[in-house]
Amino acid sequence: MNVVMLLYPRLTQLDLTGPFEVLSRFKELTVHLAWKDTAPVADGAGLRLLPTVAFADCPQADILFVPGGPGQLALMEDAEVLDFLRRQAAGARYVTSVCTGSLVLAAAGLLTGYRATCHWLSLDQLGYFGAVPVAERVVIDRNRVTGAGVTSGIDFALTLMAEIFGEARTKRVQLAMEYDPAPPFAGGSPRSAEAATVAGVEESTAAFQRQRQEVARKVAATLQP
């Protein structure tokens, strides 16, 4: 099975590398990191990653995956990227994302009528595209599988692998990775965090979130019949 993972400038690398770590442990899967060309790509913090295949040479995905990150804004108005995703999704067994990668899928018209999730700060924006926002860690609706913010990528990938290869085998992979989260603080979700902490995150990201919302509304308006 071919896994096509979109690798693009200013993504959040953990959205990609968390699932990559899980998927790479299933030898039936061949993972392709796809971009317009194969030059190194810098994530949102400057970490350089190397695409393995250009769009023009990319095989048909069995699993199509889109990570999130600040670079997602540009992708939502990038006709070349959106066309690539539509072509790949048409033949894919699963169409998937983590974090704001779901907004890119939505901009390509690939989540209309589907339940889906996203990073909590941007979850409501899925509604602009006719998707049904769901505040859950991982959401499965038919062949659409979406994960919430950043760290949920590992949960997303384990959930998807259990769907394909079964729970028993996926549990062994989870144990081999020693994936046993025990965060130093409670409050990794807006549902469990203190109100002051939530307010602080919202305040520090407000300017960028306004920009993200403006782009989402503009792109969604172009998709209206």
Alpha-carbon span 203 to 180, nearest angstrom: 31
Q: Is residue 25 classed exposed, middle or buried when 0-12, 13-18 and 19+ CB atoms within 10 A define those classes? A: middle
Catalytic residue among 92, 99, 116, 131: 99
User: Could you tell me which of 71, 59, 77, 62 has the C-alpha nearest to residue 7?
Assistant: 71
- Cα distance from N-terminal residue to C-terminal residue, the chain: 35
Q: Is residue 210 classed exposed, middle or buried when 0-12, 13-18 and 19+ CB atoms within 10 A define those classes? A: exposed
Residue 99 falls in the annotated catalytic set: yes
Alpha-carbon span 173 to 106, nearest angstrom: 31
**Residues recognised as catalytic:** 99
